[in-house]
Each structure stands twice: as C-alpha cells, then as structure tokens.
Chains A and B, each alone.
Chain A
Amino acid sequence: DAGITQSPRHKVTETGTPVTLRCHQTENHRYMYWYRQDPGHGLRLIHYSYGVKDTDKGEVSDGYSVSRSKTEDFLLTLESATSSQTSVYFCAISMTSGSYNEQFFGPGTRLTVL
C-alpha cells in the first residue's frame, strides 16, 4: 500500500465549471503524476511533479493545470470543464525502496462533465 488517496472519488459537474481533484500521499514520495483513462486510449499522462512547486506537462495537458505546494498533495485543476474531460483520473507515485522501483496508482476519480 503506497498510501495514495484521491478525492473526490466521484464528481458530476457542468460544462464551464472549475473542478479540482486532489491526490494525497503519506510517504513523502518525490514524484507524483496525473493520468486520465478513456476507453480505447488506455491511460495518458496529463502532468507530473518532481518536487514541491516543480511540475511539467505530459502528453495531454491542454485544459489542465496542476499545483504542488507541499510534498503530500498534488492538485489537478480543470479551469473550465468540458465534456471531453469526462474521464477517470488516476494519480500515481513513483517509489524507490532498495532495489525496488515501482509506480503505484491511487483508486481513481470518476469525473462526469454534463
């Protein structure tokens, strides 16, 4: 268990509304990621963070912004939600422990934009 939680777990919102998803981890992992999962696309990287206030874009970053003001929280914001952003959003962390290097995922947030 990598101690990753996501909130909310489900959200329904309307087009044009701002939405913020939260990823919280309890084990001081440096690297955090946001992915979205859509049918027929697998998972795609939106943004990632390599430390407090250090973030970078992924493959599908348009329409999304992120912030990381403290190690444990990585926020994903949709400034003005669109129906194309209806998806399941997964947060992930990379963990190194001894010889292990793994990437673990949170439980996901299902977002519906009407």
Chain B
Amino acid sequence: AQKVTQAQTEISVVEKEDVTLDCVYETRDTTYYLFWYKQPPSGELVFLIRRNSFDEQNEISGRYSWNFQKSTSSFNFTITASQVVDSAVYFCALSDSSGGSNYKLTFGKGTLLTVNP
C-alpha cells in the first residue's frame, strides 16, 4: 500500500523567511510519480509540480524549489522569501504507474502554512 506522510500539520513564518515543507512517501513500485498541490483559503486545488521516480533532479521555479531524494523517500518543497499570498494548505501526493496518465493519487494530510506580515 502507498502512503504519504506530511509530519508538519501547521507552520507559521514571518514574511520573507524561507520555509521547507516535508513529504515522506512509501511505495513498493519502482516507477511512481510525486505531486505537490496548493489549496489557498478559497478552496481550489492548484497543481504545482509532478516528478517521476526516475528523475531525481531538483527543480526550481521562481521562489519554489523541490528536493527529491529517493534514498530517503522524500520530496520536500521549499519556498524562498515567503509572502503572505503563500498562505495555504499544501498537499504532497503519490501515484503509482498504473499506465499511461492514469494517476490515482494518495495524498498526505496536508501542511497549513501561514505567512504573517
């Protein structure tokens, strides 16, 4: 069975601080996919990134960066110079390689990030 653990239930930072959201996963599959989603207070789910298990390159997109380490089964997400608009619940998710683009996601419970001015 697949499992995603986001140990940090809530994080509170002051604007401009860097913050890292942790994600640890469990799977028996050798090919799998990892995702991060943002859920702002308005409630929609915003896709941030998808990563293949065979691509361990770290990725940076503006103030966002992701550190994928297969050796520790972790896929951590860092926001640099946080802003109030980053306040949201962030979900890490895992999908097996059922075939094609059939992503049946197993989600972590989410981390509520609050960025204070």
Q: Does A103 contact B (CB under 8 A)?
A: yes
Contact B104 A33 (CB under 8 A): yes
Contact B35 A42 (CB under 8 A): no
Residues of A contacting B93 in the complex (Cβ-Cβ under 8 angstroms): 43
Contact A43 B91 (CB under 8 A): yes
Chain A interface: which size bin? 20 to 34
Residues of B contacting A104 in the complex (Cβ-Cβ under 8 angstroms): 47
**In the complex, what distance in Å separates the CA atom of A42 from the CA atom of B37?**
11
Contact A102 B102 (CB under 8 A): no
> Can you give 5 A-B contacts (C-beta < 8 A)?
A30-B101, A43-B93, A48-B102, A96-B101, A108-B43
**In the complex, what distance in Å separates the CA atom of A104 from the CA atom of B37?**
10
Which residue of the partner chain, among B47, B100, B104, contacts A45 with CB atoms under 8 Å?
B104
| Residue of A35, A41, A44, A103 with most chain B CB atoms under a 10 A cut-off | A103
Q: Does A50 contact B (CB under 8 A)?
A: yes
B-to-A contact residues, CB < 8 Å: 4, 33, 35, 37, 43-45, 47, 50, 91, 93, 95, 100-110
**In the complex, what distance in Å separates the CA atom of A41 from the CA atom of B109?**
5
Main SS at interface, chain A: strand
Contact A94 B91 (CB under 8 A): no
Given contacts A42-B110, A44-B107, A103-B35, whether A31 and B44 have CB atoms under 8 Å apart is: no
Which residue of the partner chain, among A40, A44, A45, A105, contacts B45 with CB atoms under 8 Å?
A105
Residues of A contacting B107 in the complex (Cβ-Cβ under 8 angstroms): 35, 42-44
Since A45-B105, A48-B104, A90-B45 are in contact, a sample of 9 more A-B pairs with Cβ atoms closer than 8 Å, ordered by chain A residue number, is A30-B100, A42-B110, A94-B101, A102-B50, A103-B47, A103-B95, A103-B105, A104-B47, A105-B47
In the assembled complex, the CB of B3 is this many whole angstroms from the nearest CB of chain A, namely 11
**In the complex, what distance in Å separates the CA atom of A66 from the CA atom of B33?**
26
Contact B50 A101 (CB under 8 A): yes
Residue of B nearest to A110 (CB): B43
Q: Does A88 contact B (CB under 8 A)?
A: yes
